[in-house]
Amino acid sequence: MPTPPENLNPDGNLVSNETFAEYMAPIEAALSDYAVAVNAQADGHGYLPAASSQAMAELDVQRAWATASWSEPVRNAHSYASTLLYTLIEHVAAFAAIIAHTKVGPSQSHRPTLRAVFEITPIAHWLFDPTISAEKRVKRSIAYRLKSANESGRMQHLEQAVQNSKNARNACKTFARHNGWAIRANAVDDEKLPVAAESFSTVVFGGEAERLDRTLWSLLSASTHGTWYAISEGFAERMVPDPLDPSGGFAPVIIEAGQITMFALMVGQSLQAVATARSELMGWPATDAMIDALTRIETIGERYTAATANS
C-alpha cells in the first residue's frame, strides 16, 4: 500500500515539498513559456506563410492535384500539420502544469501526457517536413486521413462512426485514383505514417535509438493503462517480497526530480523539433520569446547532463 509521497532531489536526497517545488520551477516555467511562444508564432504572421517560403510555393502549385471536392489539397496538408502541432503545444503546456509540484505526485500523472507527446511528435514532424515535395506532402496528408478513417471505423457499435469512416476512406481513394496514386492499407504509394516506437528518437534527437523508443512506448503505454510493472516502478522493490503479492507491505511513492527533469527536457526537444520544421516550411523566423524560452530549457539540459555525468 502506498504511503504519502517522498521527494528525491537529483542527488537522491529526500527533500520537502517546498524544496522540490523550487527545484522544478525553472523547467516548468521554461516549458510553459516555450509552449505559449510557439503557439503565438503563427498569429504573429496572420497564419499565412511568408511570400518566399516553401509553403507558399507549394500553395501556388496545388492545382496540379486538386479536384472539385478537394480543391486545396496542399492547404489541407498544412492545416493537418498545424492542428497536430497545436495539439502537441497543449500537451507540452499541460506537462508543465503537471510538474508544478503539489503534495500529491507527480509520480504517474505526467506519463499519459508524455505518451501523447511521444506519439504525436513524429507524425506532426512528418507532415511539416520541409525537405519533401508538395506532391509527397499531399500524399502524406491523405495517408493521415486514411489512418483516421480506419480508426473511427473500429467503433462498430456506432452506426454514424462506421458510415463516416466509409465516406472518408472512399473520398481518399477517389482522390488518389484521380492523381494516379496507389492505396494499400493506410499507405499512399510509399507514404505511410511513422510509428513512434520506431522513429521518435530520430526526429527528436537526430539519431536512431530503437531500444529507447521501444522502451518508452512500452513504459508509457503500460502507465497509461495502469499496468502494475509501470505504476509500481520506484517502490515495488521496497514493498513486495513476492512479485505476485502486491499487499506485502507499505512504502512511499517516490517522486524523482531527476527523472521528471529528464522527461521535461525530452518534451521540450519534441516541441522544438516540430516547431523548427514548421518555421522552415512557413518561412517564419523564431521569435524572441521562443528563443528565450528554448535557451532556458537548453541551459537546464546542460546542467542536468553535467550533474548526471558526475553522479
User: Could you report the per-residue pLDDT of 169-195, keeping only the tens digit for each?
Assistant: 999 999 999 999 999 888 999 999 999
Q: Is the pLDDT of residue 101 over 50?
A: yes
- For residue range 32-54, list pLDDT tens digits in order: 999 999 999 999 999 999 999 99
DSSP annotation of 178 reads H
Q: Residue 218 — very low, low, confident or very high, per pLDDT cuts 50/70/90?
A: very high
List the one residue out of 47, 34, 104 whose CA is nearest residue 284. 47
How many Cα atoms are found within 13 Å in the side-chain-facing hemisphere of 154?
Answer: 5
- pTM here is 0.92
List the one residue out of 109, 110, 103, 108 whose CA is nearest residue 6. 103
Q: Calculate what percentage of the chain has a pLDDT beyond 90.
A: 75
